[in-house]
Chain A
Amino acid sequence: MEAQKKTFPDRAALIAHVKSLSPGHDGEPVSDMVGGRIAAEAALAQIDPIAYGASRNYLDGAVTRLSPYIRHGILSLNEVRNHALQMGDDKAVEKFIQELGWRDFWQRIYAQNPDWLWADIEDYKTGFVASDYADELPDDIANGETDSAAMNHFIAELKTTGYLHNHARMYLAAYIVHWRRIKWQAGAAFFLAHLLDGDPASNNFSFQWVASTFANKPYFFNLDNLQKFAGMLAPCDYHSNKCFAGTYDDVAMRLFPNVKAL
């Protein structure tokens, strides 16, 4: 057997080689996020776990973008944790370490319950049953042509870069499941196909958390929240995102009319 090339004059040549090994994928985009340990160590050197604790929910906050490297074992959770511990006292880096814990938590659930990956762990707490949700992702979501400019922005980013800020993932997942009433499994498969860090456990169990099949209540949001945390990077104006407008009670009554209080 002949070993494949590992040295290339530039990234374009590497991409051309990968295309030659990947029939049927020629016209697809390539992410600007570069693979490999060198890029991973550079990203690790730039993390600010203290600022992360304060700003992580904002789309322009101090998030680390380490997830694709952790997902493929290029960085271990252990070394990322050890690095963060050197940068502040326990209290200051607590939120960052806790986020690493989420990854560990999902993996442990997966190890104990591999059958939960694509099955509803619990019933929906939305006032609906699983059969009320559509099986397939509609074309307007797959193509980023929905009635929400913000969601279209996130979909385009997902498909182009292979990365989404965690809060944007939550918004888009909630939109798919609750606003469009589509089974979380369809949304999870869509995310997995595009995310560089797509990991079945983290992705699918997070979707189940949003859907409420692995949480006490569904995750949803309103336009005020979207504008506060995403407005600096995504088009979050009222006229192109009307479906999210209203107080939390207003939105809950529209989305979950059979549930008395959330």
Chain B
Amino acid sequence: MMPPLIWLHEDCLRASHNLFDHAPEAKAVFIWDDAYMNAMHYGLKRRVFIYESLCQLPVEIYKGDTATSLAQLAQDGQDIITGKTLNPALKAIMAVIRENTKLSAIADVPFVQMDSPPDLRRFFKYWNKAKKQAFSYDGRP
């Protein structure tokens, strides 16, 4: 079975991200998407920071539109896996990719694991529940 293509985006620039455990042999790519970065209002400071980070990762960098480039890089029938994100711009790109390709978004290791959703109206309502695990190694009960 063909390993998936790993798509690294700006929210998951770490070789120890769960993403790589899902497909240890897979090729990883990052798409340098100038239109995306302009839409995010990223100036040269952020662009250099991201590029420097990529240079230390097992990833190949390609320039172009993200969805179009990934469609070209993924071989016939090859799935894509990427890091889970809340970023609406990246989620929109994922929706486009999913029109033709199976794409799975893998979550990072959580800070704390909660059985039920915390009260998020104010920080200390969250913290009173989260702190039981926040001081545990790997946030485990």
Cβ-defined contact, B43 with A114, below 8 A: no
Cβ-defined contact, B120 with A74, below 8 A: no
Q: How far is the CA of A30 from the CA of B120 in the complex (A)?
A: 37
Cβ-defined contact, B111 with A100, below 8 A: yes
Cβ-defined contact, A73 with B12, below 8 A: yes
Report chain B residues within 8 Å CB of A77: 111
List the B residue with the shortest CB-CB distance to A6.
Answer: B55
Report chain A residues within 8 Å CB of B7: none
Cβ-defined contact, A22 with B37, below 8 A: yes
Q: What is the number of residues of chain A that contact chain B, defined by CB distance less than 8 Å?
A: 68
A232 within 8 A of B: no
Q: Which residues of chain A (18-43) have a CB below 8 Å from chain B?
A: 18-19, 21-26, 28-31, 33-39
Given A72-B10, A189-B41, A193-B43, the answer on whether A35 and B123 have CB atoms closer than 8 Å is no
Cβ-defined contact, B14 with A201, below 8 A: no
Report chain A residues within 8 Å CB of B127: 98, 101, 105
Query: Among the interface residues B48, B62, B86, which one has the most CB atoms of the partner chain A within 10 A?
Result: B48
Cβ-defined contact, B48 with A30, below 8 A: yes
Cβ-defined contact, A37 with B14, below 8 A: yes
Cβ-defined contact, B43 with A14, below 8 A: no
The 10 closest A-B pairs by CB, nearest first: A35-B52, A35-B49, A28-B44, A4-B61, A35-B53, A162-B45, A36-B56, A77-B111, A104-B111, A193-B41
Q: A1-B73, A36-B52, A76-B109 are in contact. List 19 more A-B contacts (CB 8 A).
A: A4-B63, A11-B52, A14-B48, A14-B55, A18-B48, A21-B63, A22-B44, A30-B44, A97-B131, A98-B127, A98-B131, A98-B134, A101-B111, A101-B130, A108-B118, A112-B120, A189-B41, A196-B46, A198-B46
